[in-house]
Amino acid sequence: MSESLKKQNLELSKLNEDYESKYGFHDPVDYFHKGAKGINHEVVEMISKMKKEPKWMAEIRHEALEVFYKKEMPKWGNDHILNEIDFDDIYYFMKPIDAQKDNWDDVPEYIKKTFDKLGIPEAEKKFLGGVSAQYESEVVYHSMQEDLVKKGIIFLDMDSALREYPEIVREHFGSVIPMTDNKFAALNTAVWSGGSFIYVPKGVDVGIPLQAYFRINAENMGQFERTLIIADEGAKLHYIEGCTAPVYSTNSLHTAVVELKAMDDAYIRYTTIQNWSRNIYNLVTKRASAYKNSTIEWVDGNLGSRLTMKYPCVQLLGECAKGEILSVAFAGVDQHQDAGAKMIHAAPNTSSRITSKSISKDNGRATYRGMVKIHKNATGAKVSVECDALLIGEDARSDTYPTMEIDNDQVRVEHEARVSKVAEEQLFYLTSRGLTEDEARLLIVNGFMEPFTKELPLEYAVELNRLIELDMEGSIG
Amino acid sequence: MSDKKPILEFKDIHVEVEGKEVVKGVSMTINPGEIHAIMGKNGSGKSSLSNALMGHPSYTITKGEAYLKGESILDMEADERSRAGLFLAFQYPLAIPGVTVANFMRAALKSHRGADADMSDFRKLFKAAMTDLSVDQSFATRYINDGFSGGEKKRIEVLQMSMLNPAMALLDETDSGVDIDAIKIVSEGINRYQSENNGVLMVTHYQRLLNYVKPDKVHVMMDGKFVLTGGPELALKLEESGYEWLNEEKTGV
């Protein structure tokens, strides 16, 4: 047994019972800029002006706002919770400091403390190639290792990228997710701020992960980061994002748009550990375009939020492109994780694999919502979908909505779905070996999550197990 | 000198499953160094008895007493009984996906030794136990009982027993679903574990395990009761004549 497994097992798991003390704090902040609540064309104009953007971007924003007004709320997912959102009661733009820092010492003390508590500088030193830390609407700290800069890798916050590389941004912005895609993608396009921009040149392997951390601090805040990642031909990249927020009595909104492009033979892995506090609506659109022989992997962990609606997508556009989506959702008290995956096969010999694992506990609800589409030209496509749900307690709920549209008969499709309860027999087996019932339940849950945790960098796997341990503490089986 | 107190003693045990009485007043005393066997047909109540003694929540002991090394165990949960020195090798060991044999074994051993115990010898002990039971080292990282054959499952049960080294081992149908080679390996494991200081109770339908692990006493169970107790020769007679003659003897026909 490896040291890492031992460590994971020692730190065996209980999810988020200490969220309030660990992540739930907030800083009293004098914001450099804090607009009024509510959304309209003036707010959009103000954001654009403050950022000194090119005119074309301002036009895109205004157009997107009109789309947002016209689009209806999704009628699926959880419209009961969705309709709780009061768009007039949200701050759409908050600028904590006047300018971004690339030296940790220049970051204001209160923000430094926040990210220190969250372990960001430590992770940067240990195993990251670059870090971006977003606080409310803007990235406040950003750095990247010197040798990565020399290789020609661009890793910037989106606002800086728009200033420094307007042509690349203009070419790709909205090319994977158009503003008309859905109401929340339109909203993001209208008021986006922050997020990451990455360009990896042809044939370059970044080697070590790049990470962005997103922190919401204020009450009734809306965070709308916009991320665009391009891996040019043969390039390789692993990007990690993490997020937390304070615990407030009223809710905040997180609506991101993430677009990935893997050109021929490129590889992108995008890992998310979503651990928002349970007063965040997390409504995110994530989609990737995979060209010839390229690979896209979404590794998507959803632990926090009140409601998450997120369905990472891979459009397999080039021959032999591969897509993989591995997602885990943990739904505890009053949480609904409506997560899933979309695979669009639009070229021959493309292959995809979806593995979805969910755990529902107490009155938590986990939904798998998936879509696999195989176009007529996708001869030789291979698809495998596996959904596994684990229920803990009598009130926990799990639903599976798999959709498949297959327009070519020379394809191979496998689908498997399972729902299981932590069975009395399994518990008895483990307790008969000396483990307490809590230890036994935890071991079962950790085992269930194992296919996911083993894909994470060790530091994250350990943290994830620790979070699960906290959430499992004293649970009723 | 071994301890003279019985390792396991139970008196007039009654067990109910889903409101139905399946064990109807049985008693037994197992002294240190003794091997006992309970034989009986399917449905005679022998597996229910071993599950109930281990503390399975679905098997309720409605009446009777049970002592492990003189200490009453009936108020204990299954994990407490385990840590007190009782072990049950399952007839149908459960799969726990994602939990490796090594992690499982480590967690079990640690629960016996205590949270702060030194576990630095674990690797060595575990490797030795695997070698003893002809278990391939690759099993360490396989998920417990997930996709194991019948023989592999039973060998892993005996491996757990040898590592936890309990005072009292209950072996529930450890010979079922197992080929003859595996029976030999499993029997060797039981014999290696067995000593003057512990007790073994084998529950079995067939005599074949008893060819390799010699019992001191054989108890025949029918309809929730022990109808006959004798020496190893009783097992042979059951093998030859089946259980039917007992029916006749019991009912006096």
B23 phi and psi, to 5 degrees? Answer: -125, 125
CB proximity A445 to B under 8 Å: no
- Contact call for A447 and B82, based on CB within 8 A: no
Percent helix, strand, coil in chain B, to 5, is 40, 25, 35
| Measured distance CA(A331)–CA(B53) in Å, rounded | 37
Residue closest to A140 by CA, chosen among A113, A165, A108: A108
Which residue of chain B comes nearest to A436, CA vs CA?
B79
CB proximity B57 to A under 8 Å: yes
Residue A414 bridge partners (DSSP): A384
What ipTM describes this predicted complex?
A: 0.95
Strands A397-406 vs A382-392: parallel, antiparallel or unpaired: unpaired
pLDDT on residue A5: 39
| Measured distance CA(A73)–CA(A183) in Å, rounded | 6
User: Which DSSP symbol is given to A402?
Assistant: E
User: Which DSSP symbol is given to B19?
Assistant: T
CB proximity B100 to A under 8 Å: yes
CB proximity B103 to A under 8 Å: yes
Assess whether pLDDT exceeds 50 at residue B98.
yes
- Contact call for B140 and A444, based on CB within 8 A: no
Q: How many CA atoms lie within 13 A of A53 on its CB side?
A: 24
CB proximity A449 to B under 8 Å: yes
Instruction: Write down the domain spans for chain B.
Output: 8-251
B171, B89 contact by CB (below 8 A):
yes
| Measured distance CA(B161)–CA(B144) in Å, rounded | 15
Residue closest to A430 by CA, chosen among A8, A3, A12: A12
Residue B39 bridge partners (DSSP): B204, B220
pLDDT 10s digits, B121-176:
999 999 999 999 999 999 999 999 999 999 999 999 999 999 999 999 999 999 88
Of A343-357, A410-424, B25-39, B62-76, the range with the lowest mean pLDDT is: A410-424
- Contact call for B103 and A449, based on CB within 8 A: no
| B203 CB burial (10 A radius; 0-12, 13-18, 19+) | buried
Tokens 């087996």 -> residue: A429
Interface test with B, best of A420, A428, A439, A454 (most B CBs within 10 A): A428
- Which of A425, A439, A451 lies nearest to residue B107, judging by beta carbons? A439
- Contact call for A425 and B94, based on CB within 8 A: yes
Percent of chain B with pLDDT over 90: 79
Backbone torsion region of residue A55, taken as left when φ is above 0, otherwise alpha when ψ lies between -120 and 50, otherwise beta: alpha
Helices and strands, counts by H and E, chain B:
8, 10
Which CATH architecture best describes the domain B8-251?
3-Layer(aba) Sandwich (3.40)
The residue type at A146 = E
Structure-block tokens of residue A198? 């990455």
pLDDT on residue A13: 38
The residue type at A104 = W
Chain A residue numbers with beta carbons less than 8 Å from the beta carbon of B56 are: 428
pLDDT on residue B212: 92
Assess whether pLDDT exceeds 80 at residue B119.
yes
Residue B209: CB partners within 8 Å, gap ≥ 6? B174, B175, B183, B186, B187, B202
pLDDT on residue A219: 82
Which residue of chain B comes nearest to A425, CA vs CA?
B94
| A33 CB burial (10 A radius; 0-12, 13-18, 19+) | middle
- Contact call for A429 and B94, based on CB within 8 A: yes
The strand order across the sheet containing A295-302 reads A138-144, A130-135, A210-215, A236-244, A267-274, A295-302, A322-331, A351-361, A382-392, A412-421
| Measured distance CA(B203)–CA(A86) in Å, rounded | 66
Q: Can you list the pairs that A58-61 forms with residues at least 24 positions away whose Cβ atoms lie under 8 Å?
A: A60/A173, A60/A174, A60/A179, A60/A189, A61/A189, A61/A190, A61/A191, A61/A192
User: Which DSSP symbol is given to A275?
Assistant: -
Assess whether pLDDT exceeds 90 at residue B198.
yes
Average pLDDT, 10 consecutive residues per value, chain A (477 residues): 41 58 76 83 94 96 97 89 92 85 82 78 76 83 86 94 96 97 97 95 94 84 94 96 79 94 98 87 97 97 92 98 95 93 98 94 93 96 94 89 93 88 87 94 88 80 71 49
- The end-to-end CA distance of chain B, in Å, is 48
- Contact call for A432 and B106, based on CB within 8 A: no
- Contact call for B98 and A447, based on CB within 8 A: yes
Percent helix, strand, coil in chain A, to 5, is 30, 35, 35
Chain B residue numbers with beta carbons less than 8 Å from the beta carbon of A435 are: 79, 107-108, 111
- Which of A435, A437, A448 lies nearest to residue B107, judging by beta carbons? A435
Structure-block tokens of residue A438? 């809590």
C-alpha distance from B52 to closest chain A C-alpha (Å): 11
CB proximity A424 to B under 8 Å: yes
C-alpha distance from B171 to closest chain A C-alpha (Å): 13
Size of interface A-B (CB pairs under 8 A): 92
pLDDT on residue B189: 95
pLDDT on residue A11: 38
Structure-block tokens of residue B230? 């004798």
- Which of B88, B100, B141 lies nearest to residue A432, judging by beta carbons? B88
- Contact call for A437 and B106, based on CB within 8 A: no
pTM: 0.81
- Contact call for B55 and A429, based on CB within 8 A: no
Which residue of chain B comes nearest to A445, CA vs CA?
B98
Backbone torsion region of residue A316, taken as left when φ is above 0, otherwise alpha when ψ lies between -120 and 50, otherwise beta: beta
- Which of A431, A437, A447 lies nearest to residue B96, judging by beta carbons? A447
- Contact call for A433 and B164, based on CB within 8 A: yes
- Contact call for A429 and B57, based on CB within 8 A: no
Under the banding of pLDDT at 50, 70 and 90, the label for residue B51 is very high
The residue type at A407 = D
